[in-house]
């Protein structure tokens, strides 16, 4: 019982609901996608897309799925002693749609192998479970089948996901291990990513600058999202691009608000390389870096004056602002990048102001979450 709004105030219970409303609510429960296959008494193959699949027991190994009694293949499954669960891989959404559509011969043109008792195993899936039916239960307009798992296989394909009525792909929630010394602070990072992604859409439109969302990854500042402007700074900005700590606005915005134990290793290596490089660019030194980081801590803005950007293809300016965890550590940096000739990356200009306001708002939301 905290000061937050009660469930009833926020979302009153709907006691008389339509089928569609129930389906929408059930769509909040995200699942994988399977094609369940079997053979009928005449040796004909049947299969349908099903997301009702669920694990039941490890010992003994049991799984379940349920089928609508209205399905064309219902009698085949009702009378069959076996079924095979084909867990679809993330590229197999066409196959999911194919097996979700009634047709006289769903297997024509489909790649499959034959498993135990000749039941089809669809190729290229994420995993397969060959099962013997042990129980059937009526369940309203469905029948629930419980199967004893007799053999299992798994590929390296990532599974397809279904939720909210659409096919999805599964990405890890986390961005890897939290940097040393920031473990607790990084708990708010996934929420920060969601809030920042929304803010980026809005800012890219109003500022018309390419925006990057940068997290501190295993290799230092790492771009985890881009939002292109009408004049993109590059045609093919890759996710996972690792930026320098000491000479990128994003690196500085993050480093200024991370503990030395997370940052020092990268900074030391870069400063050593900077000292060795004889390029025309003025690169930071240990002496020049400390006051720069201090000024970022005061102003909450890091800027980068014209410098070659991504593969040295163009000169770009950048402004970056930190998004802070409730404990004041940088969980993300929100960065605007523009071609040097059009983008005035002043720390007190309107673009810096808009970024700083967005970052403050997200940091405040993280404190309240
Ligand atoms: C993502 C997804 C999940 C589905 N899950 C189920 C399910 O669990 N049980 C079911 O009976 N039908 C489910 N369906 C619907 C069937 O796939 C569809 O009705 C199919 O046409 C049945 O095949 P049949 O008529 O050839 O038997 C699902 C459809 C989709 C797209």
Residue 131 lies in a domain: yes
Q: Would you call 180 exposed, middle or buried from its count of C-beta atoms within 10 A (0-12, 13-18, 19+)? A: middle
Residue 128 lies in a domain: yes
Residue 77 lies in a domain: yes
For 284, half-sphere exposure in the C-beta direction (CA atoms, 13 angstrom radius) is: 23
Higher local confidence (pLDDT), 300 or 342: 300
260 shares its domain with 208: yes
62 shares its domain with 161: yes
154 shares its domain with 201: no
Rounded Cα–Cα distance for residues 304 and 302 (Å): 7
Residue 103 lies in a domain: yes
Rounded Cα–Cα distance for residues 212 and 238 (Å): 11
pLDDT tens digits for 274-288? 777 666 666 777 778
139 shares its domain with 85: yes
Taking the CA of residue 96 as reference, the ligand 1 atom at the shortest distance is 31
- Which range has the worst mean pLDDT, 159-168, 172-181, 189-198, 285-294? 172-181
- DSSP β-bridge partners for residue 281: none
Whose Cα sits closest to atom 13 in ligand 1?
Answer: 50
DSSP secondary structure letter of residue 6: P
The residue from 124, 144, 169 where one domain ends is 169
Distance 64 CA to ligand 1 centre (A): 15
249 shares its domain with 339: yes
Most trustworthy range by pLDDT among 48-52, 289-293, 339-343:
48-52
Q: Which domain holds residue 320?
A: 185-368
Q: Which helix (H) or strand (E) holds 295?
A: helix 286-299
Taking the CA of residue 97 as reference, the ligand 1 atom at the shortest distance is 31
Strands 62-68 and 54-57: antiparallel
- Edge to edge, the sheet with strand 34-39 lists 45-50, 34-39, 82-87, 127-139, 142-154, 62-68, 54-57
199 shares its domain with 83: no
Q: What is the pTM of this model?
A: 0.61
Whose Cα sits closest to atom 9 in ligand 1?
Answer: 67
161 shares its domain with 216: no
164 shares its domain with 217: no
51 shares its domain with 196: no
Distance 48 CA to ligand 1 centre (A): 6
- Which range has the worst mean pLDDT, 169-178, 306-315, 360-369? 169-178
Distance 74 CA to ligand 1 centre (A): 11
Taking CA atoms, 255 is separated from 210, 242, 361, in Å, by: 22, 14, 20
Whichever domain contains 240, its CATH number is 3.30.450.40
Residue 259 lies in a domain: yes
Whichever domain contains 92, its CATH number is 2.30.110.10
The residue from 145, 169, 193 where one domain ends is 169
Whose Cα sits closest to atom 31 in ligand 1?
Answer: 100
pLDDT tens digits for 28-44? 999 999 999 999 999 99
104 shares its domain with 248: no
Whose Cα sits closest to atom 17 in ligand 1?
Answer: 100
The residue from 114, 142, 169 where one domain ends is 169
204 shares its domain with 141: no
- Count of domains observed in the chain: 2
Query: What confidence category does residue 345 fall into, taking pLDDT thresholds of 50, 70 and 90?
Result: confident
Residue 219 lies in a domain: yes
Interior angle at CA 21, CA 19 and CA 27, nearest 5: 105
- pLDDT over 80 at 304, yes or no: yes
Of the candidates 238, 241, 287, 297, which has an alpha carbon nearest to the alpha carbon of residue 267?
Answer: 287
**Ligand 1 neighbours by CB, cut-off 6 Å:** 33, 48-52, 66-68, 71-73, 96, 100-102, 162
Please give the pLDDT value at position 310. Answer: 67
Residue 1 lies in a domain: no
311 shares its domain with 336: yes
- pLDDT over 50 at 174, yes or no: no
Rounded Cα–Cα distance for residues 234 and 265 (Å): 30
- pLDDT over 50 at 76, yes or no: yes
Taking the CA of residue 100 as reference, the ligand 1 atom at the shortest distance is 17
Q: Can you tell me the mean pLDDT for 258-263?
A: 91
Q: Can you tell me the mean pLDDT for 247-267?
A: 93
């Amino acid at each position: 019982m905290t000061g937050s709004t009660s469930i009833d105030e926020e979302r009153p219970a709907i006691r008389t609901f339509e089928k569609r409303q129930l389906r929408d609510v059930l769509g909040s429960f995200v699942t994988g996608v399977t094609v369940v296959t079997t053979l009928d008494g005449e040796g004909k193959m049947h299969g349908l897309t099903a997301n009702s699949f669920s694990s039941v027991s490890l010992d003994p190994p049991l799984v379940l799925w349920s089928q609508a009694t209205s399905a064309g293949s219902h009698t085949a499954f009702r009378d069959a002693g076996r079924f095979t669960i084909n867990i679809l891989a993330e590229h197999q959404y066409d196959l999911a749609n194919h097996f979700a559509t009634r047709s006289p011969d769903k297997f024509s043109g489909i790649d499959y192998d034959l498993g135990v008792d000749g039941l089809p195993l669809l190729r290229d899936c994420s995993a397969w479970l060959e099962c013997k039916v042990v129980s059937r239960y009526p369940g309203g307009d469905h029948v629930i089948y419980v199967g004893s798992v007799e053999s299992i296989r798994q590929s390296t394909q990532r599974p397809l996901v279904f939720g909210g009525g659409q096919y999805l792909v599964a990405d890890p929630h986390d961005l890897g291990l939290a940097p040393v010394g920031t473990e607790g602070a990084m708990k708010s990072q996934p929420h920060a990513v969601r809030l920042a992604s929304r803010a980026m859409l809005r800012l890219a439109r109003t500022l018309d600058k390419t925006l990057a969302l940068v997290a501190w990854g295993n290799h230092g500042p790492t771009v985890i999202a881009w939002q292109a402007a009408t004049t993109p700074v590059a045609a093919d900005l890759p996710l996972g691009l690792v930026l320098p700590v000491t000479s990128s606005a994003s690196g500085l915005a993050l480093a200024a608000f991370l503990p030395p134990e997370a940052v020092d290793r990268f900074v030391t290596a870069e400063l050593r390389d900077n000292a060795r490089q004889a390029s025309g660019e003025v690169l930071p030194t240990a002496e020049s870096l400390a006051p720069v980081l201090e000024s970022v801590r005061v102003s909450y803005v890091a800027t980068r004056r014209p410098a070659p950007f991504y593969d040295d293809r163009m000169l770009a300016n950048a402004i970056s602002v930190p998004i802070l965890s409730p404990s004041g550590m940088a969980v993300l940096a929100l960065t605007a990048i523009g071609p040097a000739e059009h983008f005035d990356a002043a720390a007190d200009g309107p673009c810096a102001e808009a970024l700083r306001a967005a970052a403050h708002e997200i940091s405040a939301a993280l404190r309240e979450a």
